[in-house]
A and B are shown apart, each in its own frame.
Chain A
Amino acid sequence: MQNVIATPDIRATTSPRAGSLKFLIAGVLIVAAMAFAVLASFQDNTVYYLTLPEFSAQKAKFAGQVVRVNGPLDQASIQLDQKTMVLKFNMKDGGIVQPVVYKGVVPDTLTNGESVVAEGKLDAQGVFQANSILVKCPSKYEESK
């Protein structure tokens, strides 16, 4: 790799815009391919994020569909079966109560969490079967309030 002083000949070359078209075409193709990849995988991977009242009002619309629901956690309702690692709790916002069932490692922040984001879907019994839960703290880097 030469340094710049050693290669003034390269800098001095000028030529008509002969090669730029193929670069333009190649560039457009690549950008289009990336845009297509974004759009194609976007469709399959979007999940509605709803507050508990929004979810409660549109239960029919979201039946059987994976959604993320954010609701206040009713601390008194938490039941954890340590043997089976099945966690049951309610989200409660005013008069709306939504039972949630989750199986897996329980987040450390659950016992003093204020609200929960549960991802999953509603089953036929009206219980929200969560496959992941996130206990809300304002930011990973902000202290939890």
Chain B
Amino acid sequence: MAPTQLADVGAVALVASLAISIYVVIAALYSVRAKKPQFLASAENGIYLIAGLTTLAAAILEYALITNQFRFEYVATHTSSDQPLLYTISALWGGQEGSLLFWAWLLAIFAAIVLIQNRAQNRELIPAVTIFLAFTEGFFLLLVVLLASPFKLLEFTPAEGKGLNPLLQNPGMFIHPITLYLGYVGFTIPFAFALGALATGRLNDMWIRTTRRWALWSWLFLSLGLLFGMRWAYVVLGWGGYWGWDPVENSALIPWLTATAYLHSVMIQEKRGMLKIWNHVLIMLTFILSILGTFLTRSGIVQSVHAFGVGQMGPFFLAFIGLVVLGFLYLLYARLGDLREENELHSLLSREATFLLNNLLFVGAAFATLWGTIFPMISELVTGNQISVAAPFFNQVNGPIFLALILLMGICTLIGWRRASPEKLAHNFGKPFIAALGIVIALFFLSIRDLAGLIAFGIAAFVMGSLLIEYYRGIRARVRQYNENALVALLNLVQKNRRRYGGYVVHIGIVLAVIGITGSTLYQREQQYNFKPGETISFEQYTLTFEGLQMTPAANRDIIAARLKVTENGNPIGTLTPSKDYYRAADQNTTEVAIRSTLREDLYLILAGWTNDGTATIKIVINPLVTWLWIGFGVFICGTIIAALPDPREAIVRAPSRVREAASAA
């Protein structure tokens, strides 16, 4: 097909999807009002149809990208014929129009999956869920139809495209937006069920149980998105760090924080029938902040509020967010009487209390980060001058909050539900506390003398101790009771209660990450040197010999690399080649750092520049313990997957739903 025909089909598919999503909202509403279930069936078919049509639209755009149809404005501005196929594929979500289409497409697929999952259950909630999903879908379709059409054609066909931004041509950047968007979009599902519960008055914890996996997988993908983003910053941006409190990074972290609070607080509702309103509010915040995150990344508003008017998208997002919040608050207010707590909190020394504190801290960190992120825009609106907030603000506020959260992670595992007796507590705290004290004293003699480091490592040791004791106890109980050997007991322990022990694996991962973050934040060293060819320079235990620059042309870029032979304490550890890549189509350089990782520290080399006589300027950075951050993330992800996989106990819970509802009503 000719580009014009392809573009027409794509544009028509999107307009049709928009029309159908409006129909779905109306039909599902009518089915409830007029008690005509056939209209709900029709609305559900509408969702499936939207899934099909948006898939077609995304496929057309992807086809146009891969076949370099530069007549498409989006293709011409985001690909070039010489760039690797991988990044031509990822150009689908590399720009504004494409990424909004990607959002709409993912949501349509998710909506269809939800309806298939719930064909025989939760039928009372489905009309409201369908209405909200179609409403949100309609919003994103409206944006791609009215404001940011990916199927806009140019008057002529350019000979060559501009190519994807070279900074984005990295495998991490291929996967980072996908995972981030899977997370953002996924939170729409639990929120839709929360609204369904409010709309129908079925306010037991069924909506939470039904969407637990959706929330958990979305959270996992958001975490992966953060991980890939950090990794990308570390290996591609080449400033030696992985987190800069950049507004774009923050806008992914903020919903992650509220989602983490939500994952914890729903346990209190499931166990004790408490925090019902709070849980509704948390999932609403997570959804809104995901939308806000999409908006902040996509609109350019971060640079200046003036982009708000220019981009046209601002008012649309504001109106959508406003409508959702108002609708939510109205429903919540109408149901306040039915959201009474079923239990009371008794003691500040209880696991419930630690969960409450955890929630306050997570939400506090989310608001502090949000405040620092949007303050420049607010100040510009109010005073005309933009006042921005630097990274130290985020570190000063969030550092202590995060450390308190980590400490709480350890306390929580040691403290009982309802009311803990001081004697029991003292007994439980003893061993981890001694472990922490031992570590702190050892570190002190290893000449780590700064307070922040000692506190952070001490807390990490305390939490790790408490988690290991928890595993030890579980294993010992099984060994005694069933005569299993320790390894079998461990596997069975996790298998029998994946949610709990998977959660503990997540916590272990976080402790490891804390070790990495503490080491690389507090003890980073860096130095910049000018190397003449053949010159040798020593930095701490490393000796670097510069062998010269070499240029290698690649398909779409020229690579200029500095070869450095490195020895550590006199032992050769190989040649490192930090380089700069010059991308011809974009006329832009990217920095390719060279990293030599060990569990102890990373040696991180940046080629900062060179002169005509062959002298190279190399920045040497030593990042202690940073590998533990990535290891911790790996453990964290395994733990989340363990907790998200089906749990045999839950199958038993799910079957007699009437029985449980009777129990919760009692």
User: Which residues of chain A have a CB within 8 Å of any CB of chain B?
Assistant: 1, 3-5, 7-8, 10-20, 22-23, 26-27, 30-31, 34, 37-38, 41-42, 44-50, 54, 68, 80, 82-83, 85, 104-106, 108-109, 111-112, 136-144
List residues of chain B with CB within 8 A of the CB of A136.
303
A112–B162 CA distance with the chains assembled, in angstroms: 14
Q: Shortest Cβ distance from A6 into chain B, in angstroms?
A: 10
A13–B591 CA distance with the chains assembled, in angstroms: 63
- B343 and A14 contact, CB distance less than 8 A: yes
- B371 and A8 contact, CB distance less than 8 A: no
Q: Given A44-B392, A141-B177, are A10 and B343 also a contact pair (CB < 8 Å)?
A: yes
Minimal Cβ-Cβ distance residue in A for B419: A19
Q: Given A20-B345, A31-B364, A82-B610, are A37 and B396 also a contact pair (CB < 8 Å)?
A: yes
List residues of chain A with CB within 8 A of the CB of B134.
none
A30–B588 CA distance with the chains assembled, in angstroms: 49
Partner pick for A141 among B94, B401, B589, B609, CB 8 A cutoff: B94
- B347 and A19 contact, CB distance less than 8 A: yes
A42–B387 CA distance with the chains assembled, in angstroms: 11
A115–B96 CA distance with the chains assembled, in angstroms: 22
Partner pick for B346 among A19, A26, A85, A144, CB 8 A cutoff: A19
Stretch binding the partner chain, chosen from B266-274, B438-446, B567-575, B634-642:
B266-274
List residues of chain B with CB within 8 A of the CB of A38.
368, 371, 397
A83–B390 CA distance with the chains assembled, in angstroms: 30
A1–B664 CA distance with the chains assembled, in angstroms: 18
Q: Shortest Cβ distance from B166 into chain A, in angstroms?
A: 8
- B347 and A140 contact, CB distance less than 8 A: no
A72–B261 CA distance with the chains assembled, in angstroms: 43
Q: Shortest Cβ distance from B506 into chain A, in angstroms?
A: 15
> 8 A-B residue contacts at CB 8 Å?
A30-B364, A49-B376, A49-B385, A104-B528, A105-B239, A105-B609, A108-B589, A141-B297
Interface presence of B19 (CB below 8 A): no
- B530 and A106 contact, CB distance less than 8 A: no
Q: Shortest Cβ distance from B179 into chain A, in angstroms?
A: 14
Q: For the complex, would chain B's binding face be called helix, strand, loop or mixed by DSSP majority?
A: mixed
- A144 and B588 contact, CB distance less than 8 A: yes
Q: Shortest Cβ distance from B435 into chain A, in angstroms?
A: 24
- B348 and A3 contact, CB distance less than 8 A: no
Minimal Cβ-Cβ distance residue in B for A144: B165
List residues of chain A with CB within 8 A of the CB of B357.
26, 30
Those 6 A-B pairs whose CB atoms lie nearest each other, nearest first: A49-B386, A45-B393, A82-B611, A108-B589, A41-B396, A34-B364
- B344 and A19 contact, CB distance less than 8 A: yes
A111–B580 CA distance with the chains assembled, in angstroms: 14
- A105 and B580 contact, CB distance less than 8 A: no
Per-position binary interface string of chain B over residues 387-431, scored 1 when its CB falls under 8 Å from any chain A CB and 0 otherwise: 111101100110011000000000000000010000000000000
A37–B530 CA distance with the chains assembled, in angstroms: 42
Partner pick for B368 among A23, A34, A44, CB 8 A cutoff: A34
A138–B162 CA distance with the chains assembled, in angstroms: 15
A43–B588 CA distance with the chains assembled, in angstroms: 38
- B390 and A45 contact, CB distance less than 8 A: yes
List residues of chain B with CB within 8 A of the CB of A141.
94-95, 99, 165, 168, 177, 248, 297-298
- A48 and B609 contact, CB distance less than 8 A: no
- B343 and A47 contact, CB distance less than 8 A: no
- A47 and B387 contact, CB distance less than 8 A: yes
- B497 and A15 contact, CB distance less than 8 A: no
Partner pick for B660 among A4, A41, A109, A144, CB 8 A cutoff: A4
Q: Shortest Cβ distance from B239 into chain A, in angstroms?
A: 8
